[in-house]
Structure 1
Amino acid sequence: MKQIALSWSGGKDSCMALHELTNTGKKVVCLVTTVPQETGKTFAHNEDMKKIKAQADSLEIPMEFIHCTYDTYTDDFLKELKRLKTKYKVDAIAFGDMYLDGHREWGQNLADAAELEAVYPLWSNRSGMLQALKRFVDAGYKAEVIKVREDLLPSNWVGRLLDDHFIKDISEKDLCPMGESGEYHTFVYDGPLFNKEVKNITL
């Protein structure tokens, strides 16, 4: 069985990637989250590390933070990925990207440099994003919006839960329902793979 490291943002995409991998019998041996020194928070969503660690603890999967800088991001990621390859006997690294070719190319190049397989369990096309969002909600995961692009979505969408009402409202917008281009970001706090809810965390 392949030993897989999963690039983890704490949001719905990486969570659904974990869900798909787990349901198809794959073994995720660690979660990987990058933390730029410039912010001290996660690269993907500017999230507090304690909240990401709480997710990993609830999922009972080891969390590995990759400390990097914006200027040396890829090099730092590659160096740590090689270390994790040895530590966990990793064969592959998985990403939650869904259809942006540039993101996939970056991940593939990173995996190639580390001599690992690149896995994209959610890879689809732009037209399938509304269905992807429905699958996430229907699977029983609970997530809230933590950030929006205010040129595309109202600021009062922050704090909204991903549910049927959210699906209806986002489907009426002229943007990606999954927020693949950063239209909105989420934090997943409960669901089938979680052992306990991680919504309210004292920082």
Structure 2
Amino acid sequence: MMRLAALFSGGKDSTFAIYRARQQGHAIECLITMHPAADDSALFHYPNSRITKHLAEAMGVPLLESAVVAGTDRDAEIEALDAAVAQAKSLYRIEGVVNGGIASIFQKQVFEEVCKRHGLVPVSPLWGVEPERYMADLLASGFVVMIVGVSAMGLEKEWLGRVIDRESLAKLVWLSRKYGFNLTFEGGEAETLVLDCPLYPKKRLAVRQATARWDGQRGMFEILEAELLDK
């Protein structure tokens, strides 16, 4: 068992990675949320990253937040991540860092390099998972996942704000085969937010107000107001 920090966006992959790490016996000492300045970040999840404060509360785990300055290039994003990991190590005596990477070689290399600089173990519980099995495991494990961003052919405005259930997952599988996008959305084809899961023992997230923005090819479901409710 190790004491771990977890890179946490509130999306399905980072959340499920924490779930798997706990199943493996690791202790999650803190969460790290990076707030990118724009939605074209190759490293960090953009839509609704501010909501993680609610989700960290639901999880009962301390949250460290770091904002990435507007106009920041990729190297500066990595430096910001490096500083956040250093802070987590100093405050919580962590031994490793969990990430939700599935197939991105670039992300994997970055996370491994940052961990190496600080003498930490990179933990990637989802690396190489089979997409259809992974998505089915999410539902079977009790994860309530909302789609909050889409940017792939085949994913239209109707998907914004939609919660993935068995019926919609079957539709996503069909669309991913037809249009060739990654079913796990690893390439940014869509972004997600976990409203409820076994990691939230007493509370779940309720979206009170949101707006869908659509430009004809891509869109975002921006959550304007949300709160935690008792289960």
Normalised TM-score (structure 1): 0.90
RMSD: 1.9
Contact 1:152 1:183 in 2 (8 A): no
- What is the 5 A alignment of 1:33-44? 33-36=33-36, 43-44=44-45
Given the alignment, which residue of 133, 144, 157 partners 2:159?
A: 157
Residues 1:65 and 2:61 aligned together: no
**Distance in structure 1 (CA, Å) of the matches to 2:37 and 2:147:** 25
Taking a change above 3 Å as real, the CA distance of residues 37 and 145 of structure 1, as seen in their structure-2 partners, is closer
The structure where strand makes up a greater share of residues is 2
Counterpart for residue 140 of structure 1: 142
Given the alignment, which residue of 83, 87, 90 partners 1:83?
A: 87
Contact 1:5 1:94 in 2 (8 A): yes
Residues 1:45 and 2:46 aligned together: yes
What's the % identity of the aligned pairs? 22
Contact 2:142 2:197 in 1 (8 A): yes
Contact 1:17 1:95 in 2 (8 A): yes
Normalised TM-score (structure 2): 0.80
Counterpart for residue 206 of structure 2: 199
**Distance in structure 1 (CA, Å) of the matches to 2:77 and 2:192:** 22
Paired residue total:
198
Unpaired runs of at least 5, structure 1: none
**Distance in structure 2 (CA, Å) of the matches to 1:38 and 1:15:** 22
Residues 1:189 and 2:181 aligned together: no
Taking a change above 3 Å as real, the CA distance of residues 37 and 102 of structure 1, as seen in their structure-2 partners, is closer
Matched letter for residue 182 of structure 2: C
Residues 1:180 and 2:186 aligned together: yes
Q: Displacement of 1:79 after TM fit?
A: 1.7
- Show structure 1 runs of 4+ deviating over 4 A: none
